[in-house]
Amino acid sequence: MALSPIDRAGKGRVRVLLVDDDEDDYRLTRGVIADIPGDRYSLDWVADIDQAEDLICQQVHDVYLIDFRLGARSGLDLLAAVRRRKCHGPAILLTGMNEPEIDRAAEAAGAADFIVKSQLDPILLERAIRYTLRQRAQELDLERKVAARTTELTEANRALADADRRKDQYLATLAHELRNPLAPIRNALEIMRLSADRPKLIENGRMLIERQVATLVRLIDDLLDVSRFTRDTLTLSLEPLDLREPLRLAIEATQPLMDKAHLTLTSDLPPVELPIHGDRVRMAQVFAQLLNNAVKYSQPQGTISLNVKQTKSQNGPQATIQIVDTGVGIPRDQLPRVFDLFCQVDRTLGRAQNGLGIGLAFVRKLARLHDGDITADSDGLNRGATFSVTLPLGRNPS
C-alpha cells in the first residue's frame, strides 16, 4: 500500500507516522487521533517496513507509532535497522499482547513507550505522544550539551598540549640561556688565574664577568617575573606621573642597542604633560621591551618610530603609543599568538631566536594592570610590525 500524502496543513501540528501492515488498524488509529481535541496531530500511514525505515531516517515526522507485527518481521526489527543506520526518532510500539517481555524488548530496542492496542484511546495516545516527545527533547538537549562540552574539552586539551609544548621549549631555552654565560665566566677566571702579573688581562676578564653576570641576573629576573605572572602576584607601585618620563627612560635604555644595530629611532613625544597613575619602573619596562623587540627583528639601516597620541574612549581620555618598525614583520596567522606565554613566533626564515618567550606576555599583563592593553599588527613577513599600547589618562587603575 502506498503512503498517504503527508499533511502539511497547520503549522505546529505534530506529524505522526503509523507503521502497520493492517489497514483496519490504520483506520482505528486515525479515528483515535481524530478524537484528540484541538486538531494538533496529523497522521500518515505506511505498511512497508523498508519504506518505513527510509522515512524514519529522513526525519520528516515527529513521532512514530510502530506495530509489533509487520508481516514476517516485527517492529523490533525495524527499530534495530534504524539504529544500525544511526537514525533517531521517538517511537511508540503498538502490540496486541500485554506482555512484560515485549515491553522490555521495546525499551531495549529504543522505543520510548509501549501501548496495548486494546487499551488505545485518545487520552492514552496523546499522553504517550507527549511523553515521547518530551523524552526526545531532553535527549536532544543532552546531546547538544555533550557535543558542546566535548568541543570545549577538545579545545582545552589542545590548549594544554600547546602550553605543555611551549613550556618544554621554554625550559630547554632557559637551560641554554643559563649555560651560555657560564663558559666565558669560567674562561675569564682561568685567564685571570694565569695572568696575575698582567693587569690589563685581569681587567678585561673582570669586565667580561660583569657582563655575563648581568645577563644571568636578567635571566633570573625574568624567572621571577614568570613566577609572579603565573601566580598572578604582580604588584604595582602606583603614583601620579607624566607618561613621557617612562617613555624617555625606555628610549635611553634601548638607544645603545639601536646604535649597535645601525637603526634610526624617531620619536614624537607631545610637548604637554600626559598624566597617568602608573608604576614608573614597570611602564618603562613595557616600552623598553617593545623597543627591544623592534630592534631584534629589524635589519640594519632600518627605522623605528615611537608616536604618542591622545584619544578618547567610552571610559574617558587615553594615550595611544605606537611603536612601528620596518623589520621582518609577523605572519598574519601568527598574530593571535604573539602575546602567549613562552611563545616565540617564527618571524623570520632563518634568524636565530633568543630570549625566554615571556616578554610580550608579561608586558601585556603590565599594561592590563594599568587598565590598558597592547595589540600587535603586521601585514606579513618583511612588512614591519606595529605594537600599540593604550593607557587611561588621569585616573587610578581599577
Instruction: Tell me what pLDDT residue 18 has.
Output: 95
d(CA 281, CA 283): 6
Kind and range of the H or E run holding 276: strand 275-278
Instruction: Tell me what pLDDT residue 162 has.
Output: 78
pTM of the model: 0.53
d(CA 323, CA 308): 9
Q: What is the pLDDT along the chain (398 residues), one digit of tens a residue?
A: 444 433 333 347 899 999 999 899 999 999 999 999 888 899 999 999 999 999 999 988 999 999 988 888 888 899 899 889 888 789 999 887 777 777 788 778 888 888 888 888 999 999 989 988 888 888 888 989 999 999 999 998 988 887 777 677 667 666 766 777 787 888 888 888 888 788 888 888 888 888 888 778 877 777 777 777 667 777 788 999 999 999 999 999 889 889 999 999 999 899 999 999 999 988 998 998 899 889 988 988 999 999 999 988 888 899 999 999 999 998 888 888 888 766 665 544 444 444 545 678 888 988 999 999 999 999 988 889 999 999 999 876 66
Query: Which among 276, 253, 254 is positioned nearest to 369, based on CA atoms?
Result: 276
Length of the chain equals: 398
d(CA 22, CA 96): 12
Topology of domain 14-146 in CATH is Rossmann fold (3.40.50)
Q: How far apart are the first and last CA of the chain?
A: 75
Are 365 and 317 a contacting pair, CB within 8 Å? no
Question: Which DSSP category does 397 fall into?
Answer: -
d(CA 386, CA 364): 14
Residue 65 vs residues 73, 90, 112, 319, 365: alpha-carbon distances, Å: 16, 9, 10, 69, 61
Residue 344 vs residues 156, 159, 268: alpha-carbon distances, Å: 21, 16, 30
Show the cell assigned to 247. Answer: 617613555
Query: Which among 376, 307, 306, 368 is positioned nearest to 338, based on CA atoms?
Result: 376
Q: Report, at the CATH architecture level, how domain 239-392 is classified.
A: 2-Layer Sandwich (3.30)
Residue 29 vs residues 23, 126, 169: alpha-carbon distances, Å: 10, 12, 70
55 Rama sector, left if φ>0, alpha if ψ -120 to 50, beta otherwise: alpha
d(CA 245, CA 120): 87
- Residue written as grid cell 579545545: 155
Instruction: Tell me what pLDDT residue 39 has.
Output: 86
